[in-house]
Amino acid sequence: MSGHFFTFEGCDGSGKTTVMERVYEILTAEGIPAVKTREPGGVPIAEQIRKVILDNGNTAMDIRTEVLLFAASRRQHLVEKVLPALSEGKVVLSDRFVDSSLVYQGYARGAGIERVRNVNDYAIEGLWPEATYFLDCEPQICLARIHSDAGHEENRLDNETLQFHNRVYEGFRELVRLYPERVIPVDGRRTIEEEAQQIAADIKARLERSR
């Protein structure tokens, strides 16, 4: 497969979505063919599953159900959008991927990182990102950003406690420890432009080395 796959991770409110959008602009402005997408969602079937997962009314959802729904959405997204783009030699930028499941369900909800990884290994068939950019920003700062953003998409995760969001942050830090060659921490307290320029430079360097 001739393309390159990069993912963006972080706590809700870390700025990863905005940073990814800016990285996409930088790359395309320089003539690099890129595709941007998100999880859960990205394609119609996966977006329908997203609505079920994030619906505020689904508070009774079992943790294993949640893990399996995320994996199902991920599989459809991969088959319909990510793999075709990679086969065309494009750079794929995804707002969240497997690492979110490892952290939110595996670590923060206690399902177990290894168990969640095993479920997702079946879904992705070994397709891991070349690099994952973790926007490292403390939960208190992230939540303050969310509460000040009138356009924020309210979902089931917004009902979680600060303790849960702290666990999510700890989970991402744990992934940095477990997968240091892939998961790259980026200081998420800086400006969007500073963060995006750092990531875009890293991606361009990787593309250059692969030639």
Crossing angle (nearest 10°) for helices 63-77 and 113-124: 30
Contact call for residues 42 and 77 (beta carbons, < 8 A)? yes
pTM for the whole structure: 0.93
The string of DSSP letters for 149-208 reads -TT----GGGGS-HHHHHHHHHHHHHHHHH-TTTEEEEETTS-HHHHHHHHHHHHHHHHH
Among the listed residues 108, 80, 78, the one whose alpha carbon sits nearest the alpha carbon of residue 12: 108
Q: What is the mean pLDDT of the chain?
A: 94
Q: How far is CA 165 from the centre of its chain?
A: 16
Contact call for residues 135 and 191 (beta carbons, < 8 A)? no
pLDDT at 153 exceeding the cut of 80: no
What is the tens place of the pLDDT at every residue in 76-109?
A: 999 999 999 999 999 999 999 999 999 999 999 9
- How far apart CA 99 and CA 94 sit, in angstroms, is 12
Q: Which CATH superfamily is domain 4-210 in?
A: P-loop containing nucleotide triphosphate hydrolases (3.40.50.300)
What is the tens place of the pLDDT at every residue in 43-79?
A: 999 999 999 999 989 989 999 999 999 999 999 999 9
The string of DSSP letters for 116-132 reads HHHHHHHHHTT---SEE
Residue 156: pLDDT band (50, 70, 90) is low
In the chain, the amino acid numbered 70 is F
How much is the pLDDT for 109?
95
pLDDT at 169 exceeding the cut of 70: yes
Task: Parse the chain into domains and list their residue ranges.
Answer: 4-210
| Radius of gyration (C-alpha) of the chain in whole angstroms | 16
Residue 99 is encoded by which pair of tokens? Answer: 């690492």
Residue 211: pLDDT band (50, 70, 90) is confident
